[in-house]
Amino acid sequence: MKVNPLYLAGEYITTAKHLSIVNPFSQQEIAQVSLADKDILNQAILAAESARDAYKKLSSAEISAALLKISLRISERQNEFEDTIIQESAKPRRYARGEVKRAIETFRMAAYEATRLPHELIQLDDAETGRGMLGRVQYFSAGIVAGISPFNFPLNLVAHKIAPAIATKSPILLKPSSKTPLTALLLAQFIHECGLPKGAISVLPCSREVGDLLVEDERIAVLSFTGSPDIGWDMKNRAGKKKVVLELGGNAAAIVHQDCDLDHAVNQCFTGAFAYSGQVCIHTQRIYVHEGIFGDFLERFLLKTKSLAAKNPADDNCEIAVMIDESNAMRVELWSKEAVLQGAELILGGKRQANFVEPTVFTKTGPGMKIHDEEVFGPVVCINPYSSIEQAIDEVNSSRFGLQAALFSNAQNIIEQCFASLEVGGLILNRATTFRTDQMPYGGIKDSGFGREGIRYAMRDYLETKLLAF
């Protein structure tokens, strides 16, 4: 089988060590990819250091044009990107198509933001020593960025590392997920054509050991990681003086209040629970429904869930397919069995065949159960009643995670109370917890990490403040 080269600072390199890429649906090997070693990583860092001077000579108009060109090239090759995402991640086509469209928008938004980097003029004469003085504040690239992206959005989460880096003239070394590197390498082809300095971008599939060097190398100024909490917090501890941005997933909850549009709430929660088999950081894992409508909600939710059947992710009408691998499917099955032994009521699903897990619905779940406390990252949802909005808020806040939550209500006092009290990075009103657009500040608190994605907000993490006093 032909070995795909990695992308080293403008050059395509084939190495002696390879990574096998398996289609999660067919279980067939679809490609082999070259792996970077310590020497290649060092070459990429040296090239990135050299690229910084070349970057400084480019105008914001030239940077914006490069980003627009990347957006255009993705648009021209949408089908190829879709098929690649489906092949290596088993993401249903409808969701792969949406991801490609979002990546097109992400680079387009970055092109706009590249021409409006933050700056300000401040008066310094409100202090006696500053009489007659002004301050010009500008923001410049902090330096080289290390981006580490996960498997579940192999294009758009890569875009959320690379696009802000280009917009801020920051060279970036990207380590894509070992499960899904093909999409990132395909994107590198179009970045190669856009006229950026050699060394501005490297896409380096590599082992965990080589990836750890990205975390620890002092020549790298910013680490942006999306992945599991245990790995992310460990990286922060080893990152030294770097700026660190962590998007570490969540345990998203939805509150369904008694005044909501019930059918709409059911449809949205259903999508949030089972899109891409729940392998989404803001997957709707816990649903709290007012006791006055709990029975009706549960009946309608179960009716929709029973209609879900596993299909080939390449089919246009596929809504749910396999999980990324069997080990994760086995983990979800184990957590479900543990919950039953702990007193949870399994209403639907719970069975596994290879790496497919049935859409699974629980009630009577609570603290101490992994499906309630941890990020399940699978097609499992816990639905429980509440009597007061204060109780619902306490239930949502009981999690160690705080990424996003949803509220289904039209009562302004309830909306304001939840917005002020819920301990999350974002509250989504009358939409699924999985709602996200690519310009909004996206990120969480508590064990969900810190820092924000969203082009303008990610750019801030890649920049340093500089003052000219005159």
Letter for the amino acid at 108? R
Q: In whole angstroms, how far apart are CA 106 and each of 9, 72, 433?
A: 22, 11, 20
Q: What is the distance between the alpha carbons of residues 440 and 431, in angstroms, rounded to a whole number?
A: 15
**Is residue 247 annotated as a catalytic residue, yes or no?**
yes
Q: What is the distance between the alpha carbons of residues 127 and 198, in angstroms, rounded to a whole number?
A: 46
| Pairing state between β 119-123 and 463-469 | unpaired
| Residue 222 Ramachandran class (φ > 0 left, ψ -120 to 50 alpha, else beta) | beta
Tell the burial category of 20 from Cβ atoms under 10 Å away from its Cβ (0-12, 13-18, 19+): exposed
**Is residue 281 annotated as a catalytic residue, yes or no?**
yes
Closest CA to 350 of 334, 372, 365, 363: 334
DSSP for 103-142 reads HHHHHHHHHHHTT---EEEEE-TTSGGGTT-EEEEEEEE-
260, 281, 318, 382: which one is catalytic?
281
Helix locations, 2-129, DSSP H: 38-56, 60-76, 78-89, 93-113
Residue 420 near residue 324 (C-beta atoms within 8 A): no
Closest CA to 233 of 371, 401, 369, 397: 401
Q: What is the distance between the alpha carbons of residues 292 and 10, in angstroms, rounded to a whole number?
A: 61
Q: What is the distance between the alpha carbons of residues 406 and 385, in angstroms, rounded to a whole number?
A: 16
Place of tokens 């997920």: 177
Q: What is the distance between the alpha carbons of residues 222 and 224, in angstroms, rounded to a whole number?
A: 6
88, 105, 113, 247: which one is catalytic?
247
DSSP state of 5: P
Question: Known catalytic residues?
Answer: 247, 281
